[in-house]
Amino acid sequence: MGYKVRFVDPARNYRMIKEEIDKAYFEVMSKGDLIDRQHLRDFEANLAAFVGTKYAVGLNSGYDALHMSLRAAGVGLGDEVIVPSHTFVATASAVVNVGAKPVLVDVGKDFNIDCSKIEEAITEQTKAIIPVHLNGYMADMERIMELANKYNLVVIEDACQSLGASMLDEKAEGKKKKAGSWGLTGCWSFYPFKMLGGYGDGGAITTNDPDVALFARRMRFNGEDRETGEYHGHGFTCLLDNLQAAFLDVKLRYLPEWIKRRQEIAKRYRRGLKDLEDLMLPHYDDPRRDHVYQNYVVRSKQGDEFSNYLKANGVEVLIQFRKPYYKHKALQLEDRGFPETEALSKEVCSLPMNVEITDEEVDYVISVVRSFYSK
């Protein structure tokens, strides 16, 4: 169906920055610089500077970033890794695919891992924790780092949905630190619909550890040191393309401005919807953390009735996720009972949130939501 307001509109986004994207395309193509060239190095340097880490290594996807991080940390057979029960399945799949066991922990009202429930999930086998910064809002990294230090756990941040989000770090003289700069690695996805989306799959890790950066640089090339030709282990083919890096580098320059726009849209939704009692909005008013609104996820007690009404009235919405991933039998994951995940899964609905959308379109979404509740 043709929607009046699209969830995202990649073609409209392209038109906004067409000149620079086309210039990047012609530059890469006319030089024939496809694999591991200057654009990739430039993008990696700019990404690391943006996140506030020493290194960034471009990979094929967010999944590859998680997988590579677990490998770099030496997580494998017999190890347990703590992951949230509400996230995209790739967080847990990366753990399973290195031979380890994901141990799920419920989330809180902000959709992120509930730190008060982490300790009860830690066993002798626990080697790592993967906090996910979902929807553009960071998990409580101060608390997570405390627990990781106490139990000697590796921290791998799944920051795929939160590029640019930050949190106050009391230990860093009260400065804010960005998502992806706290743990051993930060894992990034440049899937087209992400805050920084490419034109196909893409990903990266950020890290301050030179050994982890070197490991990832070699392993993304099947273990090969490109200068000496020496293989340093059995690796993977998961390098970020030079062309994608050139596009992402253009978009990265816009990101600070685009984050502000997302925050403005969130404010507009809040003003227009805050009096609706049956609708929970994603505003947490924690002065320690900035929300960058990768997604604007509301919770409606009316569940599918609500989301179907929006769709029927021309508003394209996304449901992530009605069926929690651990309920998919083929994944063979242990369901220890996650009441908050169960409750929110019945209610979540992501409203259109992107930098292409106009104020008038946001107002239209607000009017449709309000008309649902005045029925």
Ligand X SMILES: Cc1ncc(COP(=O)(O)O)c(C=O)c1O
Question: Does residue 85 touch ligand X according to CB under 6 A?
Answer: no
Which residue among 191, 309, 326, 372 contacts ligand X (CB under 6 A)?
191
Closest CB 154 distance from ligand X, rounded Å:
17
Closest CB 137 distance from ligand X, rounded Å:
12
Closest CB 201 distance from ligand X, rounded Å:
6
State the number of binding residues for ligand X (CB under 6 A). 15
Question: Does residue 203 touch ligand X according to CB under 6 A?
Answer: yes
| Residue whose structure tokens are 């104020």 | 359
Measured distance CA(229)–CA(176) in Å, rounded: 41
Q: CA of 186: how far to CAs of 62, 137, 190, 259, in Å?
A: 10, 14, 13, 19
Measured distance CA(279)–CA(371) in Å, rounded: 13
Question: Does residue 69 touch ligand X according to CB under 6 A?
Answer: no
**Pick 294 or 300: Cβ nearer ligand X:** 294
| Residue whose structure tokens are 């770099």 | 72
Strand order in the sheet with 175-178: 175-178, 166-169, 289-290
CB count within 10 Å of CB 78 equals: 10
Please name the amino acid found at residue 181.
Answer: S
Question: Does residue 295 touch ligand X according to CB under 6 A?
Answer: no
- Contact range with ligand X by CB under 6 A, out of 50-58, 87-95, 120-128, 326-334: 87-95
Question: Does residue 189 touch ligand X according to CB under 6 A?
Answer: yes
Question: Does residue 87 touch ligand X according to CB under 6 A?
Answer: yes
Q: Which residue is nearest to ligand X (CB)?
A: 62
**Pick 85 or 189: Cβ nearer ligand X:** 189
Q: What is the dihedral of CA 340, 342, 343, 344, to 10 degrees?
A: 80
**Pick 134 or 213: Cβ nearer ligand X:** 134
Terminal CA-to-CA distance of the chain, rounded, Å? 24
Closest CB 147 distance from ligand X, rounded Å:
20
**What string marks each residue from 49 to 68 as x (binds ligand X by CB under 6 A) or -?**
------------xxx-----
Closest CB 358 distance from ligand X, rounded Å:
26
Q: CA of 156: how far to CAs of 6, 66, 153, 243, 265, in Å?
A: 33, 8, 10, 27, 30
Measured distance CA(266)–CA(297) in Å, rounded: 10
Question: Does residue 161 touch ligand X according to CB under 6 A?
Answer: yes
Identify whether the C-beta of residue 346 lies closer than 8 Å to the C-beta of residue 322: yes
Which residue among 8, 72, 90, 196 contacts ligand X (CB under 6 A)?
90
Give backbone dihedrals phi and psi of 102, rounded to 5 degrees, phi first: -75, 130
Closest CB 325 distance from ligand X, rounded Å:
11
| Residue whose structure tokens are 């995209």 | 88
Which residue among 91, 112, 166, 307 contacts ligand X (CB under 6 A)?
91
Measured distance CA(374)–CA(72) in Å, rounded: 54
Burial class (CB in 10 A: 0-12, 13-18, 19+), 247: buried
Closest CB 64 distance from ligand X, rounded Å:
7
| Residue whose structure tokens are 């809180």 | 108
**Pick 148 or 160: Cβ nearer ligand X:** 160
**What string marks each residue from 121 to 160 as x (binds ligand X by CB under 6 A) or -?**
-----------x-------------------------x-x
Closest CB 295 distance from ligand X, rounded Å:
9
**Pick 5 or 130: Cβ nearer ligand X:** 130
What is residue 27's three-state secondary structure? helix
Residue (of 348, 278, 285) closest to 111 by Cα position: 348
What is residue 248's three-state secondary structure? helix
Question: Does residue 88 touch ligand X according to CB under 6 A?
Answer: yes
Closest CB 89 distance from ligand X, rounded Å:
8
**Pick 258 or 372: Cβ nearer ligand X:** 258
**Footprint of ligand X (CB under 6 A):** 61-63, 87-88, 90-91, 132, 158, 160-161, 189, 191, 201, 203
